[in-house]
Chain A
Amino acid sequence: MRHKNNTRILPSEITPREHYYDRRRFMQLAAGASIASLLPGPLWAADKLEASPNKAYQLAEEKTPYKDVTGYNNFYEFGTGKGDPAQYAHTLKTRPWTVTVEGEVHKPKTFAIEELLKLAAMEERVYRLRCVEAWSMVIPWIGYPLSELVKQVEPTGNAKFVEFITLDDPMQMPGQRSTVLEWPYNEGLRMDEAMHPLTLLTFGLYGEMLPNQNGAPIRIVVPWKYGFKSAKSIVKIRFTEHQPVSAWMKAGPSEYGFYSNVNPEVDHARWSQAKERRIGDFFKRPTLPFNGYADQVAGLYSGMDLQKYF
């Protein structure tokens, strides 16, 4: 990435490695590094992704350790266990990769991932992630606002929604051999949600390119909604006039709505959403409306009955 006007700060200088790896992991890395140094090229190190921290999107809260961010995932394309994605996602091939932008746009286009990586300046933003299963993390993502991409393709007047479609390839995504969800996975946002500055088209985390299990090579992050709204390993972005029906809406219409905004007042059909366990914490903490982003996004939903549009 080239943004010459910015003071170049390496992510590693902002977040010292030993702060986000715990001691044991750090020792393993050190041991691994000494072995890896004998081999041609590092085997364990992910590719770096440079970005400047966006000061407007930092949190005072402690970041979730790297090993938990990359080891405890819901990504059913690789299995339903939390450790499955880290274990099985190595079969995903993220190069070459293209993202087709189509539907209600004046300039439909298929982008190569390299092109998308250069489309706008990469920012590091620390966001809360609240899973619908009542656990949460704090993650330093790298990307740029989705709006940057949307502007390039010029949506038509009919574009009211944006749909994100994940790769559908059981050879690369062994979890897709199960019928636990309808594949391909898809998610959607209303246009104003997609254009909101918080909505991040995401390519990396913790100073690296996204690990496969976190939705490489390109995903969306919508921090005020439950995690499943943030589609991973996206191959298609479609602008539509009508509200898309997402994979989880198909799986459980009474349990998963289109909006799925984090809301302690609106319980999941089977469990409470009032509290959450921050990964690493012992006890639960209260869940915040819109995951703590109410001041920025509550306005999008003024006048809407959030019990009805859950």
Chain B
Amino acid sequence: MGIKQLDEKTLGWVKAIIFLLALIPFIRLVIGGITDGLGANPIEKITRSTGYWTLTLIMVTLAITPLRKLTGWHWLTRTRRMLGLFAFFYVCLHFLTYLVLDQFFDWGSIIKDIIKRPYITVGFPSFLLLIPLAVTSNNAMIKKLGGKRWRWLHRLVYAVAVGGVVHYWWLVKKDLTNPVIFAAVLAILLGFRLVYWWRGKQVASSR
């Protein structure tokens, strides 16, 4: 067996551990909220934290395929749905924080934001694009759509990831450290795919 192939039971444990790890940022926010531990500006803290973990989890889901190809650990793919759904969970919290705590359903002001604030102009559709991905993240939908169409649909995540990083880049006041790190990670993850795709084409045409 070894680490390349996991039996169902071990995979179950791995998934349970990933589930708990992915929940930690949320638990920390809840505890911080209860114990007055979120600092002077808790709403900003919640917004920042949920946004950060959305982006991080999107990067992790995008790292699955390259890692699988590099290591041959095919079971990695079976952890991806959960990670993707966690990214969606955090982006929902992120959006709800904005909608309720930041704007309190002030739709006029929200629409103005979407039109006038470039970081929201790019962030809001990125959030919307994640909805069809979350809705189709189950076996029944894969069956219904067919693997090929499902895969095409889920390539939207590339656009979402780029949108998310640009959103972060455009909102920071001056210190670009974090957005630059996300952009570099994303460039590597997407670059890996480009190289693979290009090499695949070379092989195909040389046949």
Contact = CB atoms under 8 A, between A and B. Distances in A.
A82 B39 contact: yes
A279 B174 contact: no
B113 A279 contact: no
A68 B174 contact: no
A283 B109 CA distance: 14
A135 B101 contact: no
A178 B176 CA distance: 12
Interface in A13-60: 22, 24
Given A82-B39, A180-B175, 10 more contacts: A71-B40, A72-B39, A82-B40, A82-B41, A83-B39, A271-B117, A272-B116, A282-B43, A283-B104, A284-B104
Contact of B119 (A270, A274, A277): A270
A252 interface: yes
Interface string A262-297: 000001001110100101101110000000000000
The secondary-structure label for the interface of chain A is loop
Contacts of B112: 272
Interface of A: 22, 24, 67-68, 71-72, 76, 80, 82-83, 132-133, 135, 178, 180-181, 251-252, 267, 270-272, 274, 277, 279-280, 282-284
Nearest to B43: A277
Contacts of A180: 174-175
Contact of A270 (B40, B41, B118, B177): B118
Contacts of A284: 102, 104
A274 B118 CA distance: 17
A272 B39 contact: no
Given A270-B119, A271-B117, A181 B174 contact: yes
Most buried by B among A132, A181, A272: A272
Nearest to B45: A82
Interface residues of B, number: 22
B180 interface: no
A80 B175 contact: yes
The secondary-structure label for the interface of chain B is helix
Contacts of A282: 43, 101
B104 A68 contact: no
Contacts of B113: 272
A83 B40 CA distance: 10
Given A270-B118, A270-B119, A284-B102, A279 B171 contact: no
Contacts of A271: 117, 171
Contact of B36 (A24, A76, A178, A267): A24
Nearest to A71: B40
A267 B112 CA distance: 12
User: What are the 4 tightest A-B residue pairs by CB atom distance, in nearest-first order?
Assistant: A72-B40, A68-B40, A80-B175, A279-B40
Contact of B41 (A22, A67, A80, A277): A277
B142 to A, nearest CB: 40
A272 B117 contact: yes
A71 B170 contact: no
Contacts of A24: 36
Contacts of B117: 270-272
A135 B174 contact: no
Nearest to A228: B173
A138 to B, nearest CB: 13
27 contacts: A24-B36, A67-B40, A72-B39, A72-B40, A76-B174, A80-B174, A80-B175, A80-B177, A83-B39, A133-B173, A135-B41, A181-B174, A252-B174, A267-B116, A270-B118, A271-B117, A271-B171, A272-B112, A272-B113, A272-B116, A277-B41, A277-B44, A279-B40, A279-B41, A283-B101, A284-B102, A284-B104
